[in-house]
């Protein structure tokens, strides 16, 4: 399988494809050993090899050789689409002639030659996967595994698919690197950025970490056709469809793409992926699609308020970064948030043993240990299956008498057949124990008798229901009794609709403000439904544009 992946990652361009690239770019000559671009360089260009050879080096791994590109090969990975700094260095080996397409023109090349674009994007995606599996790449994150700030930094980088290598300061290599940098445990997390002269950050804020990673936190001063708040499946889908239909689109997210689905270890009921895909894979593919069509992603940023203004004026989104983003329509796609565990001491140990996602970031801190998952739905079941691959034992804590009540049958069968998963029915978490830095055990309570029992565990993964993330929306947006946003006819029936015309299908009680996905009242909490809502939102944007043209 690895051989197939490498063949896909490093294809050879045909004579015709090379000619198309030659027309779009320019010829550049390089001497032996000359650097084409270096790790940390911004604004990458695309290079195809006409003659000679290129070598790819990984500076994070001491300059180790990663790959060679011969005639018909090409340099680059997904950062050509995300427009982030390079994570590798590319050097000419022997006299080399390259065909260069400027980064600013690269998206045009992808759009005008779809088959070539598909080959390049697929290769870029596989290359990034191969690099990440190499283990040492990108930024360096140095800190203890159960420290909340270290976990937040790793989660942020993971959700924004920024390559990073974690050095646990509870292990010898982490301690050695910390000492080499002249830092102490009090400075962690310590982040070593990429580049010729990398910055070393101590306890950085998310905005500072975003700058280190080359993420965009500001957007062009223009009036967008659509501003999407929330980069979950609904928001990403809307961005893909809108940008592909020439609607200028900006996407804003608090921490990174994926939404609630991004925290899932495996999504198996999304059509077209019979073997399933992780939330991270879904987020990566969605972001690459929307960026390929020209959508702008801004993270980490939150929207503090929306000013509606008059009908002929753009909506104004005021962000936590102090920016004002203007758009003709806004899509609220911030989804839901997992309900916080109310057990004693639970808040104290969030990201220090208590987690609300189960990805490779969280699983690495509990490898070979005893862990617990609380919840009775599919997310809890998938988390238990995923964690059973690396943990000694997984305790699935279900409040009701039967795990099959809230979980799909196929998943119930897998959970019951897994010898490393122990299901505890009629069980609640009463208290969390710890040593001040990480949890060491859990007090369980029988849901019927309140009888208590202790369970040794070093991590607790929580999936106990969700609440709508709608508190950032203006009070004029009508909600149902559970806080979910009303749209279309429901928004009008709520008595808040101010116009003579009917609201469009996903329009809230504030004109031109739409809602989609899990945030919306009446939605089915499934990835496929969110994708459908995202595409329907773009239909509503076209309808709004039609009104504006007639005005």
> Confidence band (pLDDT; 50, 70, 90) for 1?
very low
Tokens representing 543 are 């309808």
Instruction: Give the total number of structural domains in the chain.
Output: 4
Residues 518-530, mean pLDDT to the nearest whole number: 89
> Confidence band (pLDDT; 50, 70, 90) for 146?
confident
The domain that holds 269 is classified in CATH as 3.50.50.60
User: Looking at the structure, do residues 331 and 472 belong to the same domain, yes or no?
Assistant: yes
**Res 549 pLDDT > 80:** no
Residue 214 maps to a domain: no
Residue pLDDT, tens place only, 59-109: 888 889 999 999 999 998 888 888 888 889 999 999 999 999 998 899 888
Residue pLDDT, tens place only, 323-339: 899 999 999 999 998 89
User: Looking at the structure, do residues 327 and 471 belong to the same domain, yes or no?
Assistant: yes
Q: Where is average pLDDT lowest: 42-51, 132-141, 300-309, 320-329?
A: 132-141
Domain interval for residue 258: 223-337+467-550
**Res 236 pLDDT > 90:** yes
> Confidence band (pLDDT; 50, 70, 90) for 4?
very low
Q: What is the pTM of this model?
A: 0.88
**Res 235 pLDDT > 90:** yes
Indicate the angle between helix axes 2-9 and 114-133, nearest 10 degrees: 130
User: Looking at the structure, do residues 107 and 120 belong to the same domain, yes or no?
Assistant: yes
Residue 179 maps to a domain: yes
Residues 38-47, mean pLDDT to the nearest whole number: 90
User: Looking at the structure, do residues 460 and 471 belong to the same domain, yes or no?
Assistant: no
Q: Exposed, middle or buried, 425 (CB in 10 Å: 0-12/13-18/19+)?
A: middle
Q: Report the pLDDT value the prediction gives residue 217, as an integer from 0 to 100.
A: 62
DSSP assignment of 414-460 equals HHHH-TTEEEE-SEEEEEEEESSSSEEEEEEEETTT--EEEEE-SEE
Indicate the angle between helix axes 103-112 and 114-133, nearest 10 degrees: 120
Residue 215 maps to a domain: no
User: Of 402, 429, 464, which one is at a domain's C-terminal end?
Assistant: 464
User: Looking at the structure, do residues 46 and 115 belong to the same domain, yes or no?
Assistant: yes
Residues 6-17, mean pLDDT to the nearest whole number: 90
Name beta bridge partners: 89.
57
Contacts 24+ apart (CB under 8 A), 39-43: 39/85, 39/86, 39/87, 39/88, 39/89, 39/194, 39/195, 39/196, 40/85, 40/86, 40/193, 40/194, 40/195, 40/196, 40/198, 41/85, 41/86, 41/195, 42/84, 42/85, 42/214, 43/83, 43/103, 43/104
User: Looking at the structure, do residues 68 and 169 belong to the same domain, yes or no?
Assistant: no
Residue pLDDT, tens place only, 375-426: 999 989 999 999 999 999 999 999 999 988 889 999 999 999 999 999 999 9
User: Looking at the structure, do residues 147 and 68 belong to the same domain, yes or no?
Assistant: no
Structural contact between residues 88 and 57, judged by C-beta atoms closer than 8 angstroms: yes
User: Looking at the structure, do residues 121 and 144 belong to the same domain, yes or no?
Assistant: no
Structural contact between residues 257 and 236, judged by C-beta atoms closer than 8 angstroms: yes
**Res 219 pLDDT > 80:** no
Closest of 444, 429, 457, 434 to residue 368, by C-alpha: 457
Tokens representing 73 are 């090969």
């Amino acid at each position: 399988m690895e051989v197939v992946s490498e063949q896909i990652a490093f294809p050879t361009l045909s004579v015709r494809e090379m000619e198309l690239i030659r027309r779009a770019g320019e010829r550049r000559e390089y001497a032996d050993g000359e650097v084409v671009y270096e790790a940390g360089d911004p604004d990458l260009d695309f290079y195809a090899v006409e003659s000679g050879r290129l070598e790819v080096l990984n500076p994070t791994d001491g300059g180790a050789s990663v790959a060679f590109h011969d005639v018909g090969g090409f340099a680059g990975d997904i950062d050509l689409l995300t427009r982030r700094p390079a994570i590798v260095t590319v050097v000419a080996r022997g006299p080399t002639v390259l065909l260069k397409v400027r980064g600013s023109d690269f998206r045009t090349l992808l759009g005008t030659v779809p088959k070539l674009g598909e080959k390049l994007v697929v290769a870029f995606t596989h290359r990034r996967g191969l690099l990440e599996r190499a283990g040492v790449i990108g930024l360096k994150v140095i800190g203890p595994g159960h420290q909340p700030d270290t976990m937040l930094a790793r989660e942020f980088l993971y959700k924004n698919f920024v390559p990073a290598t974690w050095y646990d300061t509870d292990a010898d290599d982490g301690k050695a690197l910390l000492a080499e940098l002249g830092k102490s445990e009090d400075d962690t997390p310590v982040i070593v950025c990429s580049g010729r002269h990398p910055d070393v950050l101590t306890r950085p804020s998310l905005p500072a970490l975003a700058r280190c990673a080359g993420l965009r936190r500001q957007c062009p001063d223009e009036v967008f056709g659509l501003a999407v708040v929330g980069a979950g499946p609904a928001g990403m889908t809307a961005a893909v469809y809108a940008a592909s239909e020439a609607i200028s689109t900006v996407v804003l997210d608090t921490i990174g793409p994926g939404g609630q689905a991004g925290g899932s270890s495996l999504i198996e009921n999304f059509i077209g992926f019979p073997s399933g895909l992780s939330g991270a894979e879904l987020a990566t593919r969605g972001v690459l699609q929307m960026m390929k069509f020209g959508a702008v992603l801004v993270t980490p940023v939150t929207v503090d308020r929306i000013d509606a203004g008059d009908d002929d004026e753009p909506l104004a989104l005021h962000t936590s970064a102090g920016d004002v983003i203007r758009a003709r329509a806004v899509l609220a796609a911030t989804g839901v948030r997992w309900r916080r565990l109310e057990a004693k001491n639970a808040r104290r140990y969030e990201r220090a043993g208590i987690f609300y996602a189960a990805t490779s970031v969280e699983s690495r801190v509990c490898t070979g240990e005893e862990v617990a998952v609380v919840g009775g739905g599919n997310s809890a079941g998938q988390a238990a299956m995923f964690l059973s691959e690396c943990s000694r034992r997984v305790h699935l804590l279900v409040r009701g008498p039967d795990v099959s009540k809230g979980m799909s049958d196929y998943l119930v069968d897998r959970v019951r057949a897994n010898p490393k998963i122990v299901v505890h029915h009629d069980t609640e978490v009463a208290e969390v124990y710890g040593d001040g830095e990480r949890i060491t055990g859990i007090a369980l309570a029988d849901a019927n008798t309140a009888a208590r029992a202790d369970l040794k565990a070093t991590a607790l993964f929580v999936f106990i229901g969700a609440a709508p993330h709608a508190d950032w929306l203006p009070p004029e947006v009508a909600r149902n009794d559970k806080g979910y946003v009303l749209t279309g006819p429901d928004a009008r029936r709520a008595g808040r609709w101010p116009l003579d015309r009917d609201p469009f299908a996903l329009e809230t009680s504030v004109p031109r403000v739409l809602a989609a996905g899990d945030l919306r009242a009446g939605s089915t909490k499934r990835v496929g439904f969110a994708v459908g809502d995202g595409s329907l939102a773009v239909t509503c944007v076209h309808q709004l544009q039609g009104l504006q043209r007639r005005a």
